[in-house]
A and B are shown apart, each in its own frame.
Chain A
Amino acid sequence: MNTTSLPSVLEVTQLLQAWHAGDRAALEQLIPLVNAELHRLAGGYMRRQAPDHVLQATALVNEAWLKLIDWQAVTWQNRAHFFGVAAQLMRRILVDEARRQHAQKHGGNALRVSMSEVEMLAQRKSHDLLALDDALQALAEFDERRSRIVELRFFGGLSVEETAEVLGSSPRTVAREWRLAQAWLYRELSQQ
């Protein structure tokens, strides 16, 4: 394996820190690195797994994270903080993936599906995910905080408590704010 082409752990970690410190360009650099890792992982899996094993994008994203980041080197405030950062990245990757799948429209090179994953196949959801992303952007325009809550909870998979922790707020407030964000998004998406 050609290791020089892989992003170094340090590189990724530094970018993450830079991004965290407010350097938005760092995210733009991070995405291709993470994606490259994803593809590498995917290739490895495809060789090892039974031919009709389907890889789940998010599983890979998570795994990619774990492999890419030197946990020790990053001074995370706490676990929730890490996921706060990860949530944004996750959203980007998932939405990009959904957009790609949506464009392909279940093209000919779709992976074969084994029985256990039929229901889980993300493809079906690609459309919904794109719509959600759009709606989230619209929400962010007049209520960035709520958009962020949804991002943390939905894309980052954080609980109300964890979200509160990331935002430095109380769980009660987050729950209340989430309530309206959820209703607003629901209305937006169900009108489509």
Chain B
Amino acid sequence: MNNNRWREVERIFDETLEQPELDRAAFMAQACAGDDTLRHEVESLLAAHQQAGGFLVASAAKLSSVNYGTTAMSARQRIGPYQLLREIAQGGMGVVWLAERADDQYRQQVAIKLIKAGASNADIAHRLRHERQILADLNHPNIARLLDGGTTESGQPYLVMEYIEGVPIDAYCQQQQLTLRARLQLFRQVCAAVQYAHQHLIIHRDLKPANILVTADGAPKLLDFGIAKLLQPNLADSHHTQSGLHPMTPAYASPEQMRGESLTTASDVYSLGVVLYELLTGRSPYQLTTNTFGELSRAICEQDPIKPSIAVTQSHSSNEERLPSSLRTPHSAFRTLKGDLDSIVLMALRKEPRARYSSVEQFSEDIQRYLDGLPTLARKGTLAYRAVKYVRRYKVPVAAAALILLSLLGGIGATARQAQIARAEQAKAEVQRLRAEQALAVADQQRRRAEQALAEVKAERTRTEDALTTAEERRKQAEVARNEADQQRTEAESQKAFADEQRARAEQGEETKRQFLYAAQMKLAQQAWESSNIERMQELLDAQLPQPGQRDLRGFEWYYFWRLAHSDLVTIKHEGAVNSIVVTPDGAKMASQTSDGGIRIWDTATGKELPRIHDGETNATCLTISPDGQFFAQGKANGKIKIYSVSNGAPLATLEASQQVITAIAFAPDGKLLAASTFDGMVGVWAVPTWQRQALFKVSPNSINTIVFAPDSKQLITSGTAGTDTTQVWNPHNGQRLRSMSQIEKAAYKMAFIPGSNNLVTGDTDGPIRIWDFATGRLLTQMKTTWASGGLICSPDGRIIASGHFEQVVRLWDARTGALLTEVKGHSGPLMALAFTPDGKGLFTGSQDRTLKFRNVQKASEAREIANNGILSVVFSRDGHRLISTNYSQEVRLHDLTTGMALQRLKGHQQKPLAAGDTTMMMKVAVSLAGKYFATAGYDGTVRTWDEETGKPLQVFSGHTGGLYALAISPDGQHIASGGSDLTMKIWDTTSGRELHTLSGHRRRIRGAAFAPHEKILVTCSEDGTIKIWDYLKGVEIATTKPYTSGIYDLAFSPDGRWLALGGNDRYIILLDTTTWRTVKTLKGHAQIVYAIKFSPDGKRLASASRDSTTRLWELEQGQEVLSLRRQGDSPMMDLAFSPDGTSLAAVTMKGELFVWPVITQQEISAYSGAQNRPLRANQSDDAVRSLLAVQPLSTSSAALPDIPDQKIYGWVKGPNGDSLRDLMNLYAMRLDSSVSLSHKTSALIIGKKEETKGFCTIMQGVRADHFRGRRVRFSGYLKSLGISRPAGLWMGVDGEGYMLKYSNTFKPASIEWVKYEMVLDVPEDSLNIVFGFLLQGEGHLWGDDFRLEIVDADVPVTDISGIRERNQAEFLRLPEQERLRLERGYKERAKTLPLKPVNMDFV
């Protein structure tokens, strides 16, 4: 803008503003007449002026910071009559100076606090004037006095306070080494001062050791009383979020203070509680890991403080010098703090202000009671508090809850009314409570007065004997008064109790509604899942995250849905729709493409993104990779194909097929040819890697949708939107047409060959996916579905076909049968691209929703199939790692839960034909929780027990005359109850191995039995509709009841023994109260017979299996259904089992399938949310989330085990298990006195005990073989041995200083090469674990960075070490035969005597 112009603008702007407001528009229009630009300029400036308000008015300094510039002080300066001496401290509120009165009248040192200039100095100054007097009136020997206050010349407020020379109370206690008693007494003095201030209606708000100084003569002095309030007067009464200064110290702030709620004296009680906590334990009440404000805030508002007695022992060694002398050993500290002191401190620290001590005085008195050895209030209150805490208040808005309920449940009026009543009740209760509290206060006051009178009387009596008579009379009066006051107090207390109860009831009403809301939302979540609306589902789940102070209502179903919502292991955002995904044949890299973002590439092992390939064009349509993984071929919308090097992203060639869009690209399987099709019906073929064009021919006048090479690489199939011959076969070398596949009527949109076969899969726009025999053109299978617009691919093993669909799902099909395996959901847009990892376990999916997701194919499904052959019944092993099933062949199987593999088959029960009158066969199984065995009840009428670890048969109980349908084991494991068609129950004693009693009375077949958890009773149910309660030790019936109208098929006790649940032919489930045996709840929902019911281990859920093909989950407080599970291709549900940790639910269908619905655990959720750069390999672990956790250090229960650096430990094993273990022991017994265990489930870790004579031990450690199956691996580092465990057994190799080379019972590796510090071998496909042994000498480090386990690519040359191998072998063989035999015999002998010590293992 030129100067003159600006002057003009300036002039009119100023002049306009001089005009009366109404005239301005006209004035300006006239002033700018004829110059629109000018007018526009001035107009906009005037508008800006109107809006600018305080813009730039506050200075930059004020906006962004505290302004020291205008207020900083220096020594020798004066403030009022005071001369500043030196700066004492800087704090959140300002600077504190030591000063003295400058007039020579008298010398008094004072502390002057210069308040930081906040938003408004004037405000503070005003308040200061107002409140100064109140604060100055605080006249207590233990409170630092406020002497003066005002504002400096520059307007900065200041306060003049008594100067205290002292040290903070915590430092004082430490310096003086105060005893526990002295600390408590000192603390009581602090309480007295705080109480004094409270009586003057002043709350401190910022109590902390730094504000409690102790002077040289041992008197505590409290600083800064009321200052906080002075600075933030609105804190208590404003609902606005406070910005700026919050004069408080988070570490000592109460929950309500953290939340910015209004404060009462209870907040000071809390802060004092923290101070006391620290004086007693030397640490803070919360265990924080990061110490950030957020974490602290959460801890204060949500986390329960650690009990002082526990806290003090946890950090004892680091804190010792801060503790009272009597607490100097962890043991004494624990003993001293446990009990009363724990209760006192925790009572002061309760989250709810009302639950704390009602006054500081009460707090202090309770400490005195402790000192006097009297029972404390806190201790008494703890139990009651816990009960009340259970029905804590929560904050879901009543209205919202009611609204949703209303729409869902239909109970419109009732619900709203209920809410209203609940609210009214609550309000009423509140009023009554307030009244009661008032009465209580009055009573207290009277009581105090009476006590005062009493004290006075006492004093008088000592003063003079003469007044004795009078005094005695007054004493009596006083006592009467006190009694009266006490009585009033009692009354008031009972009123308060009543009010509290009513209040609790009102609150319970709200809790009930919350539970209904929860159940309703879980149903909505299920609907959202079924309609693959994952976002909605996540919203619903998030809505149920408990708010601070709320009870957590979540159960199995929530964690189940969460797992479904996050079945993707990794989600990668893109800038555009992901139109192609390719994976290198070795699986090391994955690449994706968006039309305008180029090719993005990831290292799958680390999940890190590599440099992207981008030519700046935005026309990429498709992407493929050569079979050798060397080249990317990228199709463009302009008919060009770009070739890039996969290894370095370099552009290698640009090919041209036509001017039209490239619709598909394909490499020949032999890697020698590349073909591409275009939108205008052209096909081009080029040689690889010369990129010379071999052929270019017109296939059709219309677009070609898809091309694919036949497995022989000699035929190219094209399909497109032509008239009759849509699908044709060509010679790719010359473009000659070989034949037409006219049987494929519709143009295929996507095509693929099933690896390992000559079968062609096609998908067309009309839906069906069809599999053809390519040679004969015969249709093999047809899968009815919708248009697979988002891709059609086969897993590399040829077993699974994946199709991507417009409706946001991926469907997985069995390539042989065409059965739908599962639907994979999670994208919020149509699918566009699919790719499997080379092992077929991982699936990448790309969508228009601009994300690429990666999942484990198995984990993506709702349920995991474990077996599908005639299973009848199932239970989990006690460790939850295995499933124990029975089947129609009357066989018992142990399954590994992780791999799904059948580990063992146990035979013993006889097969019998179905007896007349029996419609179904049964074989029940039960695990003893105490007895380390499991039992099976067969159709042959026998009960058998088996060793839970080894599967070894233990006992056989026979005597029944018909098939068995009911089986139960007593809680102590000593007794087994069985029953069935012969209408009797038999009680077996496992100690004596004999029958204890036969119980008769049921009139029809007995279907279920259950022992009560805490009482010596057995309950049985029968098709006769009755349950019978037995004293099974005496063998007598206690009662019979018929709560059900028809046959009862199963029953179960809740874990706490409170409820007995039963279900059957009536289709509903009933819950009986076990004290009255009356029905208290009826759970309705199943449409047909309920066959089995189980309580979740935490007792909060009940699962039921029904003939209606569903398994349902019920929450038990309101009896609402929260989840309904179905199996693909409905089949009646026969049996159920919860895993011991409640994280999996197994079910058996009438078709004999056994499958598991897993959930995700809280830890896994945290790991999922926290992890970045997750590996893109499904085989990283069967459960990739878990693999993240697996690197966490783990502890062991056995003290004898050596210390092992923990960063690479994957887990302790649980075992033993079968022959593989014995082999391992055989090997190691020779050198070690070891305790060994091994398991299929876990990453094996085998621990050897330190050998006494030689002072070293061999540590064996293992990893899951998943990473390495089928690969050539190289180990380097100081390895002693190497083993591979497989279902068939264990193969083991030991270098043993070179004299032993190989050991194997069932397997000789095809290739194994050894040198001392390096070995290379091929890992068999069926390997479970790779185990390696290390020599650990003394306290030496086990393995460090020098240990490596790496996959060696087949084409990378490996040092030729065959010579060494032969030498080693020869050396071993050269040993005298006797010596070799002796060695082998030696360790076999010792193996027999080795103690087996299973160590409990779990990830995390």
Interface 9-residue window, one of A3-11, A14-22, A174-182: A174-182
10 interchain pairs, CB-CB under 8 A: A52-B293, A56-B66, A58-B69, A59-B68, A112-B293, A154-B59, A157-B62, A186-B48, A187-B44, A187-B45
| B63 and A155 within 8 A (CB) | no
Alpha-carbon distance between A56 and B3 when the two chains are bound, in angstroms: 39
Minimal Cβ-Cβ distance residue in A for B6: A142
Alpha-carbon distance between A129 and B66 when the two chains are bound, in angstroms: 17
Pick from A114, A154, A155, A157: contact of B67, CB under 8 Å = A157
| B45 and A58 within 8 A (CB) | no
0 or 1 for each of B291-309: is its CB under 8 Å from A? (1 = yes)? 0110000000000000000
| B61 and A125 within 8 A (CB) | no
Point out which of B47, B65, B244 has the most chain A C-beta atoms below 10 A from its C-beta: B65
Given the interface pairs A116-B92, A116-B246, A143-B6, the reply to whether A154 lies near B56 with Cβ below 8 Å is yes
Task: Give the chain B neighbours of A122 by CB distance below 8 A.
Answer: 64-65
Task: Give the chain A neighbours of B92 by CB distance below 8 A.
Answer: 114, 116
| A182 and B49 within 8 A (CB) | yes
A119 to chain B, nearest CB (A): 4
Task: Give the chain B neighbours of A57 by CB distance below 8 A.
Answer: 64-65
B293 to chain A, nearest CB (A): 6
| A90 and B60 within 8 A (CB) | yes
Pick from A94, A115, A187: contact of B293, CB under 8 Å = A115
Minimal Cβ-Cβ distance residue in B for A124: B64
| A150 and B72 within 8 A (CB) | no
| A157 and B60 within 8 A (CB) | yes
| A114 and B293 within 8 A (CB) | yes
0 or 1 for each of B23-48: is its CB under 8 Å from A? (1 = yes)? 00000000000000000000011111
- Starting from the known contacts A56-B65, A176-B14, A184-B45, 4 additional A-B residue pairs (CB-CB under 8 Å) come to A57-B65, A132-B56, A142-B2, A150-B56
B585 at the interface (CB under 8 A from A): no
| A185 and B56 within 8 A (CB) | yes
Task: Give the chain B neighbours of A120 by CB distance below 8 A.
Answer: 64-66, 244
Alpha-carbon distance between A66 and B72 when the two chains are bound, in angstroms: 9
| B64 and A183 within 8 A (CB) | no
Alpha-carbon distance between A88 and B805 when the two chains are bound, in angstroms: 64
Pick from B1, B52, B64, B293: contact of A186, CB under 8 Å = B52
0 or 1 for each of B241-267: is its CB under 8 Å from A? (1 = yes)? 001111110100000000000000000
Alpha-carbon distance between A127 and B120 when the two chains are bound, in angstroms: 25
| A179 and B17 within 8 A (CB) | yes
Given the interface pairs A63-B72, A183-B52, the reply to whether A58 lies near B61 with Cβ below 8 Å is yes
Q: Which 6 A-B pairs have the closest CB atoms?
A: A56-B65, A62-B69, A157-B59, A183-B49, A187-B48, A122-B64
Interface residues on A, range: 35 or more
Alpha-carbon distance between A180 and B10 when the two chains are bound, in angstroms: 7
B74 at the interface (CB under 8 A from A): yes
Given the interface pairs A142-B1, A143-B6, A182-B49, the reply to whether A63 lies near B68 with Cβ below 8 Å is yes
Given the interface pairs A113-B293, A154-B56, the reply to whether A58 lies near B64 with Cβ below 8 Å is yes
0 or 1 for each of B425-440: is its CB under 8 Å from A? (1 = yes)? 0000000000000000
| A94 and B243 within 8 A (CB) | no
Alpha-carbon distance between A63 and B14 when the two chains are bound, in angstroms: 39
| A62 and B243 within 8 A (CB) | no
Residues of B near any A CB (own CB < 8 A): 1-3, 6, 10, 13-14, 17, 44-49, 51-52, 55-57, 59-70, 72, 74, 90, 92, 243-248, 250, 292-293
| B6 and A157 within 8 A (CB) | no
Alpha-carbon distance between A91 and B881 when the two chains are bound, in angstroms: 67
Minimal Cβ-Cβ distance residue in B for A132: B56
| A119 and B48 within 8 A (CB) | no
Pick from B48, B63, B69, B293: contact of A183, CB under 8 Å = B48
Given the interface pairs A58-B65, A62-B69, A65-B69, the reply to whether A115 lies near B250 with Cβ below 8 Å is yes
Given the interface pairs A180-B13, A183-B45, A184-B45, the reply to whether A155 lies near B246 with Cβ below 8 Å is no
Minimal Cβ-Cβ distance residue in B for A62: B69
Task: Give the chain A neighbours of B65 by CB distance below 8 A.
Answer: 56-59, 120, 122
Task: Give the chain B neighbours of A66 by CB distance below 8 A.
Answer: 69, 72, 74
A90 to chain B, nearest CB (A): 7
Given the interface pairs A116-B245, A186-B52, A187-B44, the reply to whether A59 lies near B67 with Cβ below 8 Å is yes
Alpha-carbon distance between A150 and B59 when the two chains are bound, in angstroms: 10
Task: Give the chain A neighbours of B10 by CB distance below 8 A.
Answer: 180
Alpha-carbon distance between A156 and B56 when the two chains are bound, in angstroms: 11
Pick from B52, B68, B246, B292: contact of A62, CB under 8 Å = B68
Minimal Cβ-Cβ distance residue in B for A182: B52
A102 at the interface (CB under 8 A from B): no
Task: Give the chain A neighbours of B74 by CB distance below 8 A.
Answer: 66
0 or 1 for each of A47-66: is its CB under 8 Å from B? (1 = yes)? 01100100011110111011
0 or 1 for each of A148-192: is its CB under 8 Å from B? (1 = yes)? 001001111110000000000000000010011011111100100
Task: Give the chain A neighbours of B64 by CB distance below 8 A.
Answer: 56-58, 94, 120, 122, 125, 129
Minimal Cβ-Cβ distance residue in B for A112: B292
A134 to chain B, nearest CB (A): 14
| A90 and B61 within 8 A (CB) | yes
Task: Give the chain A neighbours of B72 by CB distance below 8 A.
Answer: 62-63, 66
Task: Give the chain A neighbours of B70 by CB distance below 8 A.
Answer: 157
Point out which of A56, A57, A115, A179 has the most chain B C-beta atoms below 10 A from its C-beta: A115
| A184 and B68 within 8 A (CB) | no
Alpha-carbon distance between A61 and B61 when the two chains are bound, in angstroms: 10
Task: Give the chain A neighbours of B57 by CB distance below 8 A.
Answer: 153
Minimal Cβ-Cβ distance residue in A for B1: A142
Pick from B3, B52, B56, B248: contact of A153, CB under 8 Å = B56
Minimal Cβ-Cβ distance residue in B for A184: B45
Alpha-carbon distance between A59 and B57 when the two chains are bound, in angstroms: 19
Task: Give the chain B neighbours of A143 by CB distance below 8 A.
Answer: 6
B518 to chain A, nearest CB (A): 34
B66 to chain A, nearest CB (A): 5
Given the interface pairs A62-B67, A114-B293, A119-B244, the reply to whether A157 lies near B45 with Cβ below 8 Å is no
Alpha-carbon distance between A85 and B69 when the two chains are bound, in angstroms: 14
Given the interface pairs A57-B64, A63-B72, A112-B292, the reply to whether A119 lies near B243 with Cβ below 8 Å is yes
Alpha-carbon distance between A56 and B90 when the two chains are bound, in angstroms: 14
Alpha-carbon distance between A129 and B65 when the two chains are bound, in angstroms: 14
B94 to chain A, nearest CB (A): 11
A6 to chain B, nearest CB (A): 18
| B90 and A49 within 8 A (CB) | yes
Alpha-carbon distance between A166 and B74 when the two chains are bound, in angstroms: 25
Residues 104-120 of A contacting B (Cβ, < 8 Å): 112-116, 118-120
| A184 and B48 within 8 A (CB) | yes
Minimal Cβ-Cβ distance residue in A for B65: A56
Task: Give the chain A neighbours of B52 by CB distance below 8 A.
Answer: 182-183, 186
Minimal Cβ-Cβ distance residue in A for B52: A186
Alpha-carbon distance between A66 and B75 when the two chains are bound, in angstroms: 13
Minimal Cβ-Cβ distance residue in A for B243: A119
Alpha-carbon distance between A122 and B62 when the two chains are bound, in angstroms: 11
| A180 and B246 within 8 A (CB) | no
B1099 to chain A, nearest CB (A): 41
Task: Give the chain A neighbours of B14 by CB distance below 8 A.
Answer: 176, 179-180
| B244 and A116 within 8 A (CB) | yes
A173 to chain B, nearest CB (A): 10
Task: Give the chain B neighbours of A61 by CB distance below 8 A.
Answer: 69
Task: Give the chain B neighbours of A65 by CB distance below 8 A.
Answer: 69
| A183 and B46 within 8 A (CB) | yes
Minimal Cβ-Cβ distance residue in A for B3: A142
Point out which of B52, B247, B292 has the most chain A C-beta atoms below 10 A from its C-beta: B52
B641 to chain A, nearest CB (A): 40
Alpha-carbon distance between A152 and B57 when the two chains are bound, in angstroms: 11
| B55 and A186 within 8 A (CB) | yes
Residues 124-152 of A contacting B (Cβ, < 8 Å): 125, 129, 132, 142-143, 150
Task: Give the chain B neighbours of A187 by CB distance below 8 A.
Answer: 44-45, 47-48
B11 to chain A, nearest CB (A): 10
B301 to chain A, nearest CB (A): 14
Alpha-carbon distance between A112 and B51 when the two chains are bound, in angstroms: 36
Alpha-carbon distance between A21 and B247 when the two chains are bound, in angstroms: 45
